[in-house]
Amino acid sequence: MQAKINKIGVLTSGGDAPGMNAAIRAVVRSCAFHGVECAGIFRGYQGLIEGDIEELNARSVKNVISRGGTFLKSARSKEFMTKEGRQKAYDHIKKSGLDALVVIGGDGTFTGGLIFNSEFNFPIIGIPATIDNDIKGTDYTIGYDTALNTVVEAIDKIRDTASSHNRLFLVEVMGRDAGDIALNSGIGAGAEEILIPEENTGVDRLIDSLKKSKKSGKTSSIIVVAEGDKSGKNIFELAEFIEENLDDYEIRVSVLGHIQRGGSPSCYDRVLASKLGVGAVDALLNGESNIMVGIHHQQVVSVPLKTAIQGGAKFDKNLRRVADITSI
């Protein structure tokens, strides 16, 4: 049986995502609600190794819910991948009197937490926060909804200039190996084509489709390309290939880049982060460990961390069909 939880540490790690601040806030206020102490660890596991830790109370997280990024800052720690690094981290945990950790991030964050738990038998709860939505066991990750809105707003702007000039735009969006951002934002932005890593449809099919699209009376086109797309060409090569194989189109490339990671979180992400932050503290106080709190069918659920890191694989064939139909 697990010892009583008197003090909880919270950190954010890996790529930042909008809503991380809302999750931290929910953890901190949940601690205050339950009369448990709370400490913030700066710069993820690296800050734990260096003892960069600060007490947080309910007022410490005032007005952070609306802000992108993470005020605890994030990092990828190489030192934490070593046994020595993790030992130093554990020493600081003892020194700070922490009884459990809430780690907010993606699969790298959870993997680190799992290893740490296995070595020190220290209670760990994960909260999924990454714009890529590539975590198993949760329908949505914190930051994903905001990133979708950011992408759609950006492509709406690009559409203005594409329509004005009868141009073809290739727009690269994030998502690592997951096509969720590309597929959903592509539908949302009314993209004519969407290239995602889960499919390898080949560039010839793309050329055919663009020809058909032109014939049907479309004068401008947006193609959304996921960064992990398997066409074998990067987006600039793809642009060249299309230019060589298609007449009459002026082609432009836009790599949306890091704007997708920032920005004030959407209402959905703020509420999700609030639910999961509260859920993480609930789980700890219920004696759970080594789990991620996720959202499934709108309910907060507990998922073993080792399941969570098995990757998203949320590719939805019905959504591809919706994309094909609505871009006709």
Region 199-258 residues binding a second copy, contact defined as CB under 8 A:
216-218, 252-258
Helix boundaries (H) for the chain: 20-34, 44-50, 83-96, 107-120, 144-165, 180-188, 203-215, 235-245, 267-285, 305-308, 317-326
Residues from 108 through 137 that contact a second copy (CB under 8 A):
none
According to the binding rule CB under 8 A, does residue 184 interact with a second copy? yes
Catalytic-role residue among 16, 52, 91, 132: 132
Location of structure tokens 């709370």:
38
Least distance to a second copy, CB of residue 5, Å: 16
What's the CA dihedral at 122, 127, 130, 133 to 10 degrees?
Answer: 120
According to the binding rule CB under 8 A, does residue 66 interact with a second copy? yes
Integer Cα distance of 125 and 23 in angstroms: 13
CA atoms within 13 A on the CB side of 110: 28
> Which residue stretch of 1-9, 70-78, 92-100, 287-295 sits at the interface with a second copy (rule: CB under 8 A)?
70-78
Least distance to a second copy, CB of residue 231, Å: 21
Is 296 within 8 Å of 138 (Cβ atoms)? Answer: yes
How big, in percent rounded to 5, are the helix, strand and coil portions of the chain?
A: 45, 20, 35
Residues from 253 through 312 that contact a second copy (CB under 8 A):
253-264, 266-268, 270-271, 274-275, 277-278, 297-300
Q: Compare residues 260 and 290 and give the one whose CB is closer to a second copy.
A: 260
Integer Cα distance of 16 and 13 in angstroms: 7
Least distance to a second copy, CB of residue 260, Å: 8
Is 101 within 8 Å of 122 (Cβ atoms)? Answer: yes
> Which residue stretch of 66-74, 84-92, 204-212, 302-310 sits at the interface with a second copy (rule: CB under 8 A)?
66-74
132 is a catalytic site residue? yes
Nearest to 277 by CA among 26, 21, 7: 26
Least distance to a second copy, CB of residue 167, Å: 9
According to the binding rule CB under 8 A, does residue 160 interact with a second copy? yes
In this chain, which of 8, 93, 135, 148 binds a second copy, going by CB under 8 A?
A: 148
In this chain, which of 48, 152, 195, 210 binds a second copy, going by CB under 8 A?
A: 152
Integer Cα distance of 137 and 1 in angstroms: 26
In this chain, which of 189, 242, 292, 303 binds a second copy, going by CB under 8 A?
A: 189
Mind telling me the catalytic residues? 132
